[in-house]
Structure 1
Amino acid sequence: MQRNRKQMDSTMMLAVPSTSPGGLEAEISGHFGHCDVFTLINIQEGKIAAVDTVTNVEHGAGGCVGPVKLLQSKGVGTLVVGGMGARPMQACADAGIAVYCAELIGLKKVEDAATGLLAGKFTLMRADQTCKGDGNCHHH
Protein backbone atom coordinates (compact mmCIF):
# COMPACT_ATOMS: atom_id res chain seq x y z
CA MET A 1 0.00 0.00 0.00
CA GLN A 2 1.22 3.47 -0.84
CA ARG A 3 0.95 5.81 2.09
CA ASN A 4 3.05 8.26 3.97
CA ARG A 5 3.73 6.60 7.32
CA LYS A 6 5.14 9.78 8.87
CA GLN A 7 1.98 11.68 7.96
CA MET A 8 -0.22 8.91 9.40
CA ASP A 9 1.69 9.01 12.69
CA SER A 10 1.52 12.75 13.28
CA THR A 11 -1.25 15.12 12.18
CA MET A 12 -3.29 14.90 9.00
CA MET A 13 -6.35 16.68 7.64
CA LEU A 14 -8.48 14.21 5.69
CA ALA A 15 -11.45 15.22 3.52
CA VAL A 16 -14.23 12.91 2.33
CA PRO A 17 -16.87 14.13 -0.18
CA SER A 18 -20.15 13.46 1.63
CA THR A 19 -23.91 13.62 1.38
CA SER A 20 -25.67 16.19 3.61
CA PRO A 21 -25.31 16.87 6.45
CA GLY A 22 -21.81 15.34 6.43
CA GLY A 23 -20.03 13.85 9.43
CA LEU A 24 -18.80 10.36 10.20
CA GLU A 25 -22.22 8.71 9.68
CA ALA A 26 -22.82 10.36 6.29
CA GLU A 27 -22.52 8.41 3.06
CA ILE A 28 -19.52 8.96 0.84
CA SER A 29 -20.62 10.97 -2.19
CA GLY A 30 -20.38 9.12 -5.49
CA HIS A 31 -18.48 11.91 -7.20
CA PHE A 32 -16.03 14.43 -5.79
CA GLY A 33 -17.18 17.61 -7.54
CA HIS A 34 -20.90 17.03 -7.08
CA CYS A 35 -20.92 16.32 -3.33
CA ASP A 36 -23.06 18.36 -0.94
CA VAL A 37 -20.37 18.83 1.68
CA PHE A 38 -16.89 17.70 2.56
CA THR A 39 -16.41 16.03 5.91
CA LEU A 40 -13.06 17.19 7.30
CA ILE A 41 -11.40 14.81 9.72
CA ASN A 42 -8.45 15.92 11.79
CA ILE A 43 -6.31 12.87 12.53
CA GLN A 44 -3.68 13.03 15.24
CA GLU A 45 -1.37 10.18 16.21
CA GLY A 46 -3.39 7.74 14.11
CA LYS A 47 -6.77 8.57 15.68
CA ILE A 48 -9.74 10.77 14.78
CA ALA A 49 -9.30 13.92 16.86
CA ALA A 50 -11.99 16.21 15.40
CA VAL A 51 -14.65 16.26 12.69
CA ASP A 52 -16.06 19.26 10.84
CA THR A 53 -17.86 19.92 7.56
CA VAL A 54 -17.57 22.52 4.83
CA THR A 55 -20.14 23.13 2.11
CA ASN A 56 -18.90 22.38 -1.41
CA VAL A 57 -18.54 25.27 -3.85
CA GLU A 58 -20.69 25.48 -6.97
CA HIS A 59 -19.68 23.07 -9.72
CA GLY A 60 -19.38 25.73 -12.42
CA ALA A 61 -16.88 26.71 -15.07
CA GLY A 62 -13.55 25.01 -14.56
CA GLY A 63 -15.13 21.83 -13.24
CA CYS A 64 -13.83 20.48 -9.98
CA VAL A 65 -10.85 22.79 -9.53
CA GLY A 66 -12.88 25.06 -7.19
CA PRO A 67 -13.45 22.30 -4.62
CA VAL A 68 -9.74 21.42 -4.73
CA LYS A 69 -8.84 25.02 -3.92
CA LEU A 70 -11.41 25.02 -1.10
CA LEU A 71 -9.87 21.90 0.42
CA GLN A 72 -6.37 23.25 0.01
CA SER A 73 -7.41 26.41 1.89
CA LYS A 74 -8.63 24.19 4.75
CA GLY A 75 -5.25 22.44 5.04
CA VAL A 76 -6.38 19.13 3.55
CA GLY A 77 -3.52 16.83 2.61
CA THR A 78 -5.44 13.61 1.99
CA LEU A 79 -8.70 12.90 0.21
CA VAL A 80 -10.77 9.69 0.07
CA VAL A 81 -13.28 9.79 -2.80
CA GLY A 82 -16.04 7.67 -4.28
CA GLY A 83 -15.08 8.85 -7.75
CA MET A 84 -13.24 11.71 -9.42
CA GLY A 85 -12.42 13.06 -12.87
CA ALA A 86 -8.94 13.51 -14.31
CA ARG A 87 -8.91 17.33 -14.04
CA PRO A 88 -9.55 17.49 -10.28
CA MET A 89 -7.20 14.57 -9.71
CA GLN A 90 -4.44 16.58 -11.44
CA ALA A 91 -5.42 19.68 -9.44
CA CYS A 92 -5.10 17.63 -6.23
CA ALA A 93 -1.65 16.42 -7.30
CA ASP A 94 -0.63 20.03 -8.03
CA ALA A 95 -1.94 21.07 -4.59
CA GLY A 96 -0.09 18.24 -2.81
CA ILE A 97 -3.29 16.40 -1.87
CA ALA A 98 -3.02 12.59 -1.93
CA VAL A 99 -6.15 10.94 -3.39
CA TYR A 100 -7.46 7.49 -2.44
CA CYS A 101 -10.57 5.78 -3.84
CA ALA A 102 -13.06 4.23 -1.38
CA GLU A 103 -15.28 2.82 -4.14
CA LEU A 104 -12.61 0.34 -5.12
CA ILE A 105 -13.09 -1.57 -1.86
CA GLY A 106 -16.82 -0.93 -1.48
CA LEU A 107 -16.89 1.54 1.40
CA LYS A 108 -20.08 3.55 1.92
CA LYS A 109 -19.74 5.68 5.09
CA VAL A 110 -17.34 8.49 5.88
CA GLU A 111 -16.21 6.81 9.11
CA ASP A 112 -15.32 3.66 7.13
CA ALA A 113 -13.21 5.78 4.80
CA ALA A 114 -11.30 7.30 7.73
CA THR A 115 -10.72 4.02 9.53
CA GLY A 116 -9.86 2.26 6.25
CA LEU A 117 -7.25 4.88 5.47
CA LEU A 118 -5.77 4.61 8.96
CA ALA A 119 -5.65 0.82 8.61
CA GLY A 120 -3.73 1.12 5.33
CA LYS A 121 -6.49 -0.42 3.18
CA PHE A 122 -6.08 2.07 0.31
CA THR A 123 -3.63 2.61 -2.48
CA LEU A 124 -3.26 5.94 -4.21
CA MET A 125 -5.81 6.47 -6.97
CA ARG A 126 -4.43 6.02 -10.48
CA ALA A 127 -5.27 8.11 -13.57
CA ASP A 128 -6.94 5.11 -15.22
CA GLN A 129 -9.45 4.98 -12.34
CA THR A 130 -10.83 8.47 -12.97
CA CYS A 131 -14.18 9.30 -14.54
CA LYS A 132 -14.06 10.17 -18.20
CA GLY A 133 -16.96 12.62 -18.18
CA ASP A 134 -19.19 10.42 -20.34
CA GLY A 135 -21.65 9.45 -17.60
CA ASN A 136 -20.35 5.88 -17.47
CA CYS A 137 -18.23 6.18 -14.35
CA HIS A 138 -17.38 2.99 -12.48
CA HIS A 139 -18.98 4.29 -9.28
CA HIS A 140 -22.49 5.04 -10.62
Structure 2
Amino acid sequence: MHEEAKVLIPTEKPGGLEARIYAHWENAPTYTIIHIVNGQVRSVSIIELGNRRLLDIIFSQGVNIIIAHSLSTKALETLTRTGRKVALAPPIRVSEALELFLKGKLCYVRLERMCK
Protein backbone atom coordinates (compact mmCIF):
# COMPACT_ATOMS: atom_id res chain seq x y z
CA MET A 1 0.00 0.00 0.00
CA HIS A 2 1.12 3.55 -0.67
CA GLU A 3 1.53 5.78 2.39
CA GLU A 4 0.69 8.83 0.32
CA ALA A 5 -0.49 9.08 -3.27
CA LYS A 6 -2.15 11.53 -5.61
CA VAL A 7 -4.21 9.51 -8.06
CA LEU A 8 -5.62 10.89 -11.31
CA ILE A 9 -8.47 9.06 -13.05
CA PRO A 10 -10.15 10.15 -16.32
CA THR A 11 -13.87 10.21 -15.57
CA GLU A 12 -17.33 10.63 -17.03
CA LYS A 13 -19.22 13.75 -15.94
CA PRO A 14 -19.76 14.91 -13.30
CA GLY A 15 -16.50 13.39 -11.99
CA GLY A 16 -15.87 12.40 -8.39
CA LEU A 17 -15.93 9.10 -6.51
CA GLU A 18 -19.22 7.87 -7.98
CA ALA A 19 -18.35 8.71 -11.59
CA ARG A 20 -17.33 5.96 -13.99
CA ILE A 21 -13.84 5.73 -15.42
CA TYR A 22 -13.80 7.22 -18.92
CA ALA A 23 -13.06 4.74 -21.70
CA HIS A 24 -9.87 6.47 -22.85
CA TRP A 25 -7.13 8.43 -21.15
CA GLU A 26 -7.34 11.54 -23.32
CA ASN A 27 -10.36 13.69 -23.99
CA ALA A 28 -12.20 12.67 -20.83
CA PRO A 29 -14.98 15.08 -19.85
CA THR A 30 -13.46 15.34 -16.35
CA TYR A 31 -10.43 14.14 -14.42
CA THR A 32 -10.81 13.19 -10.78
CA ILE A 33 -7.79 13.62 -8.50
CA ILE A 34 -7.81 11.76 -5.21
CA HIS A 35 -5.29 12.47 -2.44
CA ILE A 36 -4.74 9.35 -0.34
CA VAL A 37 -2.81 9.25 2.95
CA ASN A 38 -2.28 5.97 4.82
CA GLY A 39 -5.04 4.27 2.85
CA GLN A 40 -7.61 7.00 3.52
CA VAL A 41 -9.08 9.47 1.05
CA ARG A 42 -8.09 12.96 2.21
CA SER A 43 -9.47 15.01 -0.65
CA VAL A 44 -11.15 14.71 -4.03
CA SER A 45 -11.00 17.33 -6.75
CA ILE A 46 -12.58 17.37 -10.19
CA ILE A 47 -10.88 19.09 -13.10
CA GLU A 48 -12.02 19.89 -16.61
CA LEU A 49 -9.14 20.51 -18.97
CA GLY A 50 -10.46 23.48 -20.88
CA ASN A 51 -7.44 24.80 -22.75
CA ARG A 52 -4.88 23.30 -20.34
CA ARG A 53 -2.65 20.34 -21.15
CA LEU A 54 -3.21 17.18 -19.15
CA LEU A 55 0.50 16.75 -18.39
CA ASP A 56 0.64 20.29 -16.98
CA ILE A 57 -2.16 19.38 -14.56
CA ILE A 58 -0.41 16.14 -13.58
CA PHE A 59 2.81 18.02 -12.81
CA SER A 60 1.21 20.98 -11.04
CA GLN A 61 -1.06 18.79 -8.89
CA GLY A 62 1.74 16.38 -7.90
CA VAL A 63 -0.03 13.34 -9.35
CA ASN A 64 2.10 10.19 -9.03
CA ILE A 65 -0.42 7.45 -9.92
CA ILE A 66 -2.71 7.28 -12.94
CA ILE A 67 -5.56 4.78 -13.10
CA ALA A 68 -7.07 4.47 -16.57
CA HIS A 69 -9.05 2.03 -18.65
CA SER A 70 -7.07 2.64 -21.83
CA LEU A 71 -4.18 4.80 -22.93
CA SER A 72 -1.77 5.04 -25.83
CA THR A 73 1.76 3.70 -25.87
CA LYS A 74 3.03 7.28 -26.16
CA ALA A 75 1.07 8.36 -23.08
CA LEU A 76 2.36 5.36 -21.13
CA GLU A 77 5.92 6.14 -22.20
CA THR A 78 5.64 9.81 -21.21
CA LEU A 79 4.05 9.07 -17.85
CA THR A 80 6.51 6.36 -16.82
CA ARG A 81 9.49 8.39 -18.07
CA THR A 82 8.44 11.21 -15.72
CA GLY A 83 8.16 8.86 -12.73
CA ARG A 84 4.42 8.25 -12.70
CA LYS A 85 2.97 4.78 -12.19
CA VAL A 86 0.11 3.69 -14.43
CA ALA A 87 -2.48 1.10 -13.44
CA LEU A 88 -5.29 -0.27 -15.59
CA ALA A 89 -8.88 -0.69 -14.45
CA PRO A 90 -12.14 -1.57 -16.19
CA PRO A 91 -14.64 1.28 -16.74
CA ILE A 92 -16.07 0.97 -13.23
CA ARG A 93 -16.88 3.65 -10.65
CA VAL A 94 -13.92 5.57 -9.23
CA SER A 95 -14.75 4.36 -5.72
CA GLU A 96 -14.53 0.74 -6.91
CA ALA A 97 -11.22 1.38 -8.67
CA LEU A 98 -9.82 3.01 -5.53
CA GLU A 99 -10.83 0.01 -3.47
CA LEU A 100 -8.99 -2.28 -5.89
CA PHE A 101 -5.98 0.06 -5.87
CA LEU A 102 -5.79 0.15 -2.08
CA LYS A 103 -6.01 -3.65 -1.93
CA GLY A 104 -3.18 -3.95 -4.48
CA LYS A 105 -5.46 -5.62 -7.03
CA LEU A 106 -4.75 -3.36 -10.03
CA CYS A 107 -2.13 -4.20 -12.62
CA TYR A 108 0.64 -1.62 -13.12
CA VAL A 109 1.80 -1.37 -16.71
CA ARG A 110 5.11 -0.40 -18.23
CA LEU A 111 6.36 -0.60 -21.76
CA GLU A 112 8.91 -3.34 -21.13
CA ARG A 113 6.40 -5.67 -19.48
CA MET A 114 2.67 -5.63 -19.01
CA CYS A 115 2.28 -6.34 -15.28
CA LYS A 116 4.48 -5.78 -12.29
TM-score with structure 2 length normalisation? 0.87
Alignment of 1:1-140 (within 5 A): 5=1, 8=2, 10-57=3-50, 66-103=53-90, 107-127=91-111
Q: Quickly say closer, same or farther: Cα 1:109–1:17, change in 2 above 3 A.
A: same
Larger Rg: 1
Q: Percent identity?
A: 23
Aligned residues: 113
Q: Which runs of 5+ in 1 are unaligned?
A: 60-65, 130-140
Q: Closer, same or farther in 2 for the Cα pair 1:69/1:89, shift >3 Å?
A: farther
Instruction: String of CA shifts for 1:80-108, please: whole Å, max 9, x gaps.
Output: 001000111111012211000002xxx51
Higher strand proportion (structure 1 or 2): 2
RMSD: 1.9
User: Tell me, which stretches of 5 or more residues in structure 2 are unaligned?
Assistant: none
Q: Deviations over 1:24-63 (max 9, x none)?
A: 000100000121111000101111111111113559xxxx
* Superposed structure 1 runs of 4+ greater than 2 Å apart: 56-59, 126-129
